Structure formats: structure tokens, C-alpha cells
Amino acid sequence: MDFKKIRAKEFPEVERITFLDAACVSLAPQRTVKALTDFVNYCARNDEESSSAHHVGMDAKRQKAYIEAAKLLNADIEEIALVESTTHGLNIAATSLPLEAGDKVVTTSLEFLQVAMPWCMMRKNKDIEVEVIPGRDGRFETRDFEEAIDDRTKLIVISSVEWCNGWKIDLKELGALCKEKGVYLVVDAVQHVGVNKLDVKEMPMDIMTAGGHKWLNSPFGTGILYVNKELIPKIDPAFWGYLNLKEPEGGWPAYFGNPGISPVNEWEFPDTARKFEIGGTSNYPGAIALGESLGLVNEIGIDNIEKHVFQLTEYAMDRLREVGATLVTHPDEKHRSGIVIFRFYRSMEEERKLLEEFHKNDVYVAMRFTSNIGGLRISCQYYNLEEDIDRLIDVLRKAGARKKPDYRKK
């Protein structure tokens, strides 16, 4: 796989800047830009015989996103829905999965605040407990969750890759444990999908969600929701939309032309993940963009992407050690993701100055912390090459010449 060629064709901007921040908001490939431009022009015309047909045509353009998402996750297409964001998907999980007074939700100390937030807020109206697993130096193993599960535990909600240190949880083991114990597993995979393989048939989970704006390179307000098909008929959405209904005979334009229709009816919703969507006129540009960006991931192959990114993170870790940086990310291969976190100085003021220095030199990285774990974050995606790491190291080397790195792990 010629990643240099893909980079030049699809991401020409990364020839100008050193973009190592896909874990924040990534860049769109050129095929996605073209698809959006084509759609905007399509919206300025009416190519069909009526505006109703035009609406149907816009709806149809969302279909590629479902197909490509199902392919990437090895899911059945009826298990895929499109959502606005990871936040949207997590709120669907929180409002759809049944919890009663006395139930316990388990999460970890390193989560992005949105992961636990819906269940934290639920405590105001329901007498539920949210238990936080502290982990060991930013590491979480299946046994940590097993020890936390008791007869009150109904749900585990976690990030499959932690945003502040890059730790990748063993979803296959954790999913098997949850299935054995009868515990719902809700996964925020926004730092996982598009850079590391996630096979929902190998890694059992109930609900998974991932916004498209990070590793899927589609920063346009649409993401993926996966709902296990065994769960779909057992739970209901918190809201109902007419476009999620079973399509009437002859289609919606014909239905709306029928004088006998009534707003009050025994409506039928097919048991697919789409019943959890809003079900109204949707974010067509976002869905179209996501479909194109997912298509590129599938065209390259997630196995090829994962191998390329693993080599980049290995290279980054070696180069960081050379210049005296201290790795916060654990080098354990089984738990490696596209994220590498490091520290350089003990002083946070010095670290922030270093972040500013990176940005002044057009090296795009971020600084992220949770529960006192984190540091400067590098995100290695398939459009990155070793030369990007080299440019980052050049900035660090110059900073180290002015003031030696002095951060050391306790």
C-alpha cells in the first residue's frame, strides 16, 4: 500500500503542515470534498421530476455511509444507524437501556467527560450508582472490570481507546465477560474506529458509537451508531421519526398524496438500528461525507492502516526516547492505538510553551489530561509518514538545547 501516494492525492494539505492531531478533529480527503461540492451543486438544482422526488434522492445519498460502516465493523447493515456525534450515540444508549433504582454503572477514571456524563446526570432522577475504576498507571485490564461487577451491575460504559494516554482495551475479552455476566457493554470508539480494527462479531458489545470527525476524517457532524441485532427488538428509542417507519407502499410522495391519511395510527417501526435515528430531514452533507471517508478507509483496508500506524507509533516512541522525552503511553503492543502521549518538562508552564512552539512551526499536536494522566498528544493516522515525526522531533531537539527535558515518571 503506497501511503505516500494516498497522502499526496487525498490529503495535499499535510505536505504543507505537519498534522499529527487526528484524535482532535481530522482533515477531509479530497474525494470527500468533491462529494460535498457535488451535493451542494445538486441542492442548487432540481434534477428529478418534483421536489418530493428530490427529497427522496437526498435520502438515498445517505446509503453509502451505512454500507461502508457495516463493512468496516463487520456488522449487519440493520445494526448500523447514523448519528450526529459520539455524544448523540451515548445519549441514545443512556435513554434506551433500562436502569432501575439500585442499579450500578461502571466506567473508568480516564474517560472523556461525555462518556460518563449521561449516567451521572441520571442520578438526579434515578437512584443509580456510577462506579469509577481507577486503573493502574492508566492501564485497564478485563480483570479490573470483573472485580467491579456485582449483582447490581447492569452496564459498563468505556472508551475502547483512552484519549489521554492511548490505552486500547481488549474488547474481545471484556465483551465476553459482559455477555457471561449479563451486563450491557456500551463503547465509545471515537478514538478507535478508522485506525484500529474493530470487528463487532469478534468483539461482542451491545452499543458502540463513534463520531466521524476524528480518525474517520469526516469532520461534518455525522457518526456511526452500532446496536447489536439481539438487543434492537428489546429496547425502544427516546424519540420517534417518520422516516424510520416502514416505508408505505409506493413511497412517501404517493402516501402524502392520499386524501385518507391520518396523523394518528398504529405506526410500525422495523427492528433495525435506524429506529434510534431522529428520523426527520437529516444532515445529508454529513452522511455523504462520512460515506466517502469510510469508503477510503475500506479501500485502503483497516489491516493495512493498523499495520502502518503501528510502525509509525513505534518510530515515534523510539525518536521521543532519543531526545529525552518520557512516554506516558504504554508500549504494550496488545494495547497500542494511534495515540502517543509524552511529557518533556515537569513545569506545566514549560509544557504549554512547548505546545505553542509546535504550533508556531506548523506541527499540529494537542495537550490532553484526565485524572492527572496525560501530556502532549501525537495522533498517527494513515496519511502520516516518518518525516512528520522527524519534524516534531526537530522542534523538541531545539527546545531541549535551550532547556533540558526534566520530566520523569514517579
In sequence order, the 6+-apart residues with CB closer than 8 A to the CB of 18 are 361, 362, 363, 364, 388, 391, 392
pLDDT of residue 135: 87
What gap in Å lies between CA 83 and CA 278, rounded to an integer? 8
pLDDT of residue 120: 97
Domains and CATH numbers, the chain: 3-27+301-402 (3.90.1150.10), 33-298 (3.40.640.10)
Neighbouring residues of 291: CB distance < 8 A, sequence distance ≥ 6 = 35, 61, 62, 63, 64, 65, 67, 68
Average pLDDT estimate for 207-225: 98
DSSP states of 260-313: T--S-S-----SSGGGGS--SS--HHHHHHHHHHHHHHHHH-HHHHHHHHHHHH
Question: CB neighbours of 285 closer than 8 A, spacing ≥ 6?
Answer: 36, 39, 40, 220
Return the minimum-mean-pLDDT range out of 45-49, 174-178, 211-215, 334-338: 45-49
Alpha-carbon distance of 19 to 2, in angstroms, equals: 19
C-alpha cell recorded at residue 289: 461525507
Pairing of strands 184-188, 207-211: parallel
Per DSSP bridges, beta strands 80-83 and 223-227 are antiparallel
Tens of pLDDT, residues 351-408: 999 999 999 999 999 999 999 999 999 999 999 999 999 999 999 999 999 999 999 9
What whole-number distance in Å separates Cα of residue 79 and Cα of residue 237? 14
For residue 339, list its beta bridge partners. Answer: 379
Residue-wise pLDDT for 225-268, tens only, equals 999 999 999 999 999 999 999 888 898 889 999 999 999 999 98
Model pLDDT for residues 287-306, shown as the tens digit of each residue: 999 999 999 999 999 999 99
The model's pLDDT over 138-181, given as tens digits with 9 standing for 90+, comes to 999 999 999 999 999 999 999 999 999 999 999 999 999 999 99
Which amino acid, one-letter code, is at 397? R
Task: Write the CA distances from 307 to 142, 258, 357, 391, integer angstroms.
Answer: 24, 56, 30, 22
What's the farthest any 2 CA atoms get from each other in the chain?
80
Q: Which residue has the cell 492501564?
A: 139
Q: Are 235 and 98 in contact (CB under 8 A)?
A: yes
pLDDT at position 247, please? 87
Query: Number of C-alpha atoms within 13 angstroms, CB side, residue 205?
Result: 31
Task: List all residues 6 or more positions away from 130 whose beta carbon is below 8 Å from its beta carbon.
Answer: 104, 105, 106, 107, 116, 119, 120, 123
Q: Are 87 and 223 spatial neighbours (Cβ–Cβ below 8 Å)?
A: no
Q: Which residues contact 171 (CB under 8 A, 6 or more apart)?
A: 160, 187, 198, 203, 205
Does residue 38 have a pLDDT over 90?
Answer: yes
Nearest to 340 by CA among 398, 298, 283, 381: 381
Q: Is 242 exposed, middle or buried (0-12, 13-18, 19+ CB in 10 A)?
A: exposed
46, pLDDT greater than 90: no
Mapping DSSP onto H, E and C, the string for 12-39 reads HHHHCCEECCCCCCCCCCHHHHHHHHHH
The predicted-structure confidence for 55-86, as pLDDT tens digits, reads as follows 999 999 999 999 999 999 999 999 999 999 99
pLDDT reading at 410 higher than 80: no
- Express each pLDDT in 337-367 by its tens digit: 999 999 999 999 999 999 999 999 999 999 9
Contacts of 265 (CB under 8 A, 6+ apart): none
What pLDDT, in 10s, does the model give residues 77-117? 999 999 999 999 999 999 999 999 999 999 999 999 999 99
